[in-house]
Amino acid sequence: MKIFIDADACPVTNVVIEEAFKRDILVTLVKSYAHFSPNDQQPGVETIYVDSASEAADYKLIALVKQGDMIITQDYGLASLGLNKGCHVLHHKGFVYTHDNIDQLLQSRYLSAMARKSGQRTKGPKAFTNQDQEKFRNKLIEVLEP
């Protein structure tokens, strides 16, 4: 198993790296050149940079993953593609994407986009908290150690 992170705006990258390092699991960060960081150069971490085009990181990530790998993303579309490739997919707020919940999540995303397109205001995501980080860590460990 390898862990792939949709890393442009992932608040749990350090948690994933820490837990993966304990288990000798390779982590691959996929991010745009606009998010370059010298901190990405760590043992056990591979960083792949892509251009800043819309969805470029998603396309690259999905081309790299194999069945049984893990993806960390908040992008429902990418999560859906990862599930169809047989990957474990986690959201940074600590829930697992499944074939049972992905359709509802995609529908919700679509309805929000249509509402915004028609001029309505929609709520953004709630702020990421320390409790969210701990919930994520616990779920990650649960998935890594079944």
Residue that is written with structure tokens 């999560």 in the block: 79
Measured CA to CA in angstroms, residue 18 lies from 45, 62, 89, 122 at distances of: 10, 23, 18, 35
- Mind listing the pLDDT tens digit for each residue in 18-67? 999 999 999 999 998 877 777 667 888 999 999 988 789 999 999 999 99
Do residues 47 and 31 touch, judged by C-beta distance below 8 A?
yes
Do residues 61 and 70 touch, judged by C-beta distance below 8 A?
no
The domain in which residue 113 lies consists of 3-144
CATH for 139: 3.40.50
Measured CA to CA in angstroms, residue 11 lies from 23, 44, 47, 84, 144 at distances of: 21, 19, 16, 25, 19
pTM of the predicted protein model: 0.87
- Mind listing the pLDDT tens digit for each residue in 91-100? 999 999 999 9
Count structural domains, the chain: 1
